[in-house]
């Protein structure tokens, strides 16, 4: 890694005008077979996984609730020729994704086994731990472009801290991921010890939306359609941003960096405008906030780009990028899922060279210290 940092950045940037390598902040590896993961689990939990499966709110073992647009929510062309689910074959991932798109680094985001939805907290802890080890053994050790995240379900704060310590000692993880739909909104104090540790370690906090928490994914209840559920990712993100900001997390942890993953970014302006306006009226209710909510948003939060918004008129995407700020955005593809964004074609509006460099590479390089 150090050769990357030591290279003269300026010269590299000039050369990069023609060839901009991509840092992809949302790549999904998946488990080829349960036995891959079981080797990192105590016998007791291996048996539990085999007997009871993943999570009480999901159907039978080995199934997902429904195909969600396509089997395993995957691109139809992402099934490895060698068998196994999309995202489970490193060589195929190299061939289909990392090499042709010239990915310099890919940040791994594991969703398998409903890691964050487990209400049996000990079982949840066992699979988080196993997956943290598996990410290194099966991915990062074999492919230095792929960077692992520490998965730490925050509803068992004590375990989360222990797992963060354990992984931080290994030192190869670039981020701490917590549950996007935990038992309580993310700003709550019960979760603060995790944020304190993340700040001390200088690791960004990653929040990848999706999965099944115990709550309906919309404030209005359970959706009927997948297209309806997919919309709810933006509501979830807006709710979590509001909770984090208004409960005072960035105020209390000024060096904590928070990354919202897979929520897109079209919803940010209105959520933030509304917070600012209400803050003026209700300032006395939240006197722990020293600044306007938008100022915290602009300094402490980053947002990955996928699924990118595609307004009918390109100029509206343009203003959105300008409003959110090119320095807040991190390119992500969501490979190998069905709503994958191709860095070459996803932005339906022209970007300046500076914006491209920031969004596709520079912001992530600085944030994850790559």
Partner 1 sequence: MARHIVARTSDIPPGGNKVFGVEGRDIVVFHVNGEFFALLNRCPHEGAPLAKAACVARLTSPEPGVYERSRVGELLRCPWHGWEFDMRSGQSWFDPKRVKVRSYPVAVESGEELQKGPYVAETFPVHVEDNYVIVEV
Using the minimum distance from each CB to partner 1, give the nearer residue, 2 or 224: 224
Rounded-to-integer distance, Cα 133 and Cα 144, Å: 15
3-state secondary structure 46-78: HHHHHHHCCCCCCCCCCCCCCCCCCHHHECCCC
Rounded-to-integer distance, Cα 117 and Cα 61, Å: 15
- The residue count for binding partner 1 (CB under 8 A) is 13
Q: Does 344 bind partner 1 (CB under 8 A)?
A: yes
Which part of the chain contacts partner 1 (CB under 8 A), choosing from 72-80, 158-166, 190-198, 253-261?
A: 72-80
Among 134, 340, 360, 368, binds partner 1 (CB under 8 A): 340
What's the longest Cα–Cα distance across the chain?
Answer: 61
Q: Does 69 bind partner 1 (CB under 8 A)?
A: yes
- Which residues are paired to 22 by β-bridges? 103
Q: Does 341 bind partner 1 (CB under 8 A)?
A: yes
Sole residue written with tokens 């005008």 = 17
Using the minimum distance from each CB to partner 1, give the nearer residue, 102 or 342: 342
Rounded-to-integer distance, Cα 175 and Cα 106, Å: 12
**Any residues with CB less than 8 A from the CB of 141 and at least 6 apart, and which?**
none
To 10 degrees, what angle do helices 268-282 and 314-324 make?
A: 50
Which part of the chain contacts partner 1 (CB under 8 A), choosing from 25-33, 68-76, 109-117, 155-163?
A: 68-76
- Least gap, CB of 345 to partner 1 (angstroms): 4
Using the minimum distance from each CB to partner 1, give the nearer residue, 96 or 236: 96
Residues 188-207 that bind partner 1 (CB under 8 A): none
Among 6, 77, 221, 287, binds partner 1 (CB under 8 A): 77
Rounded-to-integer distance, Cα 90 and Cα 355, Å: 31
- Least gap, CB of 209 to partner 1 (angstroms): 18
What character string, x for contact with partner 1 (CB under 8 A) and - otherwise, covers 21-60? ----------------------------------------
Among left, alpha and beta (phi > 0; psi -120 to 50; other), residue 62 is: left
- Least gap, CB of 340 to partner 1 (angstroms): 6
Which part of the chain contacts partner 1 (CB under 8 A), choosing from 28-36, 69-77, 165-173, 323-331?
A: 69-77
Using the minimum distance from each CB to partner 1, give the nearer residue, 118 or 306: 306
Which part of the chain contacts partner 1 (CB under 8 A), choosing from 75-83, 112-120, 214-222, 313-321?
A: 75-83
Among 156, 295, 309, 339, binds partner 1 (CB under 8 A): 339
Backbone phi, psi, residue 360, to 5°: -85, -15
Rounded-to-integer distance, Cα 181 and Cα 83, Å: 32
Rounded-to-integer distance, Cα 327 and Cα 305, Å: 12
Half-sphere exposure for 212 (CA within 13 Å, toward CB): 16
What character string, x for contact with partner 1 (CB under 8 A) and - otherwise, covers 299-338? ---------------------------------------x
Sole residue written with tokens 């196993």 = 130
Which part of the chain contacts partner 1 (CB under 8 A), choosing from 71-79, 85-93, 188-196, 318-326?
A: 71-79
Question: Whose CA is closest to 293, among 187, 190, 152, 142?
Answer: 187
Among left, alpha and beta (phi > 0; psi -120 to 50; other), residue 40 is: alpha
* 287 CB burial (10 A radius; 0-12, 13-18, 19+): exposed
Which part of the chain contacts partner 1 (CB under 8 A), choosing from 128-136, 196-204, 344-352, 354-362?
A: 344-352
Among 101, 121, 161, 346, binds partner 1 (CB under 8 A): 346
- Least gap, CB of 76 to partner 1 (angstroms): 3
Using the minimum distance from each CB to partner 1, give the nearer residue, 262 or 341: 341
Provide the binding-site residues for partner 1, judged by CB under 8 A.
Answer: 69-70, 75-77, 338-342, 344-346
């Amino acid at each position: 890694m150090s050769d990357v940092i030591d290279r003269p950045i300026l010269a590299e940037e000039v050369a990069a005008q023609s060839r901009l390598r991509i840092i992809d902040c949302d790549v999904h590896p998946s488990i080829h077979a349960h036995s891959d993961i079981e080797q990192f689990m105590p016998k007791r939990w291996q048996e539990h996984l085999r007997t009871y499966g993943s999570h009480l709110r999901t159907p039978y073992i080995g199934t997902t609730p429904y195909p969600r647009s396509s089997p395993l929510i995957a691109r139809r062309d992402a099934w490895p020729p060698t068998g196994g689910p999309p995202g489970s074959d490193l060589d195929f991932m190299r061939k289909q994704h990392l090499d042709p798109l010239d990915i310099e680094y890919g940040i791994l985001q594991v969703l398998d086994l409903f890691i964050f939805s487990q209400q049996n907290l000990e079982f949840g802890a066992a699979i988080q731990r196993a997956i943290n080890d598996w990410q290194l053994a099966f991915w990062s050790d074999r492919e230095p472009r792929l960077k692992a995240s520490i998965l730490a379900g925050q509803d068992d704060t004590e375990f989360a801290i222990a797992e963060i310590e354990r992984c931080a000692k290994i030192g190869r993880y670039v981020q701490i991921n917590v549950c996007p739909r935990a038992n309580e909104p993310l700003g709550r104090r019960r979760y603060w010890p995790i944020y304190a540790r993340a700040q001390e370690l200088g690791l960004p906090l990653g929040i990848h939306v999706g999965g099944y928490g115990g709550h309906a994914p919309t404030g209005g209840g359970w959706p009927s359609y997948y297209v309806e559920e997919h919309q709810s990712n933006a509501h979830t993100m807006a709710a979590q941003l509001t909770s984090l900001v208004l409960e005072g997390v960035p105020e209390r942890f000024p060096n904590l960096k928070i990354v919202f993953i897979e929520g897109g970014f079209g919803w940010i302006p209105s959520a933030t405008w509304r917070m600012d306006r209400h803050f003026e009226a209700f300032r006395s209710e939240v006197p722990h906030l020293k600044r306007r909510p938008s100022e915290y948003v602009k300094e402490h939060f980053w947002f990955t780009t996928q699924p990118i918004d595609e307004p009918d008129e390109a100029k509206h995407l343009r203003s959105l990028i300008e409003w959110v700020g090119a320095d807040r955005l991190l390119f992500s593809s969501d490979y190998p899922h069905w709503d994958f964004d191709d860095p070459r074609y996803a932005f339906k509006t022209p970007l300046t060279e500076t914006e491209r460099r920031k969004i596709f590479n520079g912001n992530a390089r600085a944030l994850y210290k790559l």
